[in-house]
Amino acid sequence: MATSKNEQVESIMESVREQLFAKGTKGLSKVARTFKQADFNGNKKLDKDEFEEAMSFCGVFLKKREIKFLFNIFDRDGDGNINYEEMLRTLAPPLSDTRKSIVKRAFKVLDRDGSGVVNFQEVKEIYNASKHPDVQQGRATAKHVTEVFLNGFEGKVKGEQVDGKISLAEFMAYYEDLSASIPSDEYFVQMMESCWMIRREGKDPSREKLATLVSLLKQKVAQKTKTGKNPADTLTNVFKHFDADESGKVTADEFNHAMERFGISLERADTRAFFQMFDKDNSGTITTKEFANGIYSNDE
């Protein structure tokens, strides 16, 4: 059965995406910058040699027949130049429904007041860069990934101000760019789950899982509590140790560190489940005393 032109284009684009992914999940930003640098006269086009050189500079290599085929497709007026912006749009298709859904859920985690805009500080408090593919594969540090991540939002959407804030449109545009270098929906979703403490619909930690973690926490606290002492006080004191600003509240990272002191290592989705239960005002923090009292409220 003959392969259509659209299928051949998609096959080549899939090869490019896989090569980009192997080089690190940087999306199309580097490719777009390289094309613009090679486009000396600013006409949004490159000849065959310029295109091949620009792609190789990005670590992407195509066969001669593939380059020739792309030129036949994207050289609309037959002048021997490829319209690289049109090619980039083909390389970065709109987010699939699966990816769009998880991106919107991630933004909802950030947008606690439902205003449609979040600031950088709110992102830094929740974003878990240690689970980013580039950090996991040793290509970058968590700090560097976080900085690049935040800087990547500004200017993504035409007309949006550079103001240290992220709109839903900017958030979606960032992940549309990143999505192009992640071939698998499953991998994309796993990355989002890890970075934003979320699960796909139907995969949130069950009440039984949370109850098991609470029971385990009580056991660990009991081991650290002296005879005749109140275990709720033991729990509060340990959490106070990780309350860096002495506000009486802990952030998600501080909460995780406190739980690790009891020998309990949480998945990000588990942390999120605790916050859904105890972060009553959606402030992104848990009051240590209320948490301790809540854990032992049914023991009286």
Please check whether residues 174 and 214 belong to one and the same domain.
no
Q: What pLDDT, on the 0 to 100 scale, is given for residue 159?
A: 57
Please check whether residues 84 and 112 belong to one and the same domain.
no
- State which of 91, 122, 149 marks the end of a domain: 91
| Residue 107 within a domain | yes
- Cα separation, 21 vs 23, in Å, equals 5
| Residue 202 within a domain | no
Report pTM.
0.56
Q: How far is CA 135 from the centre of its chain?
A: 12
Instruction: Give residue-wise pLDDT tens across range 159-174.
Output: 555 577 888 988 998 8
Please check whether residues 215 and 265 belong to one and the same domain.
yes
CATH of the domain at 68: 1.10.238.10
Q: How far is CA 23 from the centre of its chain?
A: 17
Which of the four pLDDT bands, split at 50, 70 and 90, describes residue 93? confident
- Cα separation, 17 vs 88, in Å, equals 11
pLDDT greater than 90 at residue 100: yes
Which of the four pLDDT bands, split at 50, 70 and 90, describes residue 24? low
Number of domains in the chain: 3
Please check whether residues 78 and 20 belong to one and the same domain.
yes
Please check whether residues 9 and 43 belong to one and the same domain.
yes
Number of H helices, E strands in the chain: 16, 6
More confident residue, 124 or 8: 8
pLDDT greater than 80 at residue 28: no
Domain that holds residue 228: 207-299
Reported in sequence order, the residue ranges of the chain that DSSP labels E, i.e. its strands, are 45-47, 81-83, 117-119, 165-167, 249-250, 286-287
Please check whether residues 127 and 190 belong to one and the same domain.
yes
- Cα separation, 192 vs 69, in Å, equals 35
Instruction: Give residue-wise pLDDT tens across range 190-230.
Output: 888 877 877 555 555 456 778 888 889 999 899 988 888 89
Please check whether residues 103 and 73 belong to one and the same domain.
no
Instruction: Give residue-wise pLDDT tens across range 71-86.
Output: 888 888 888 888 888 8
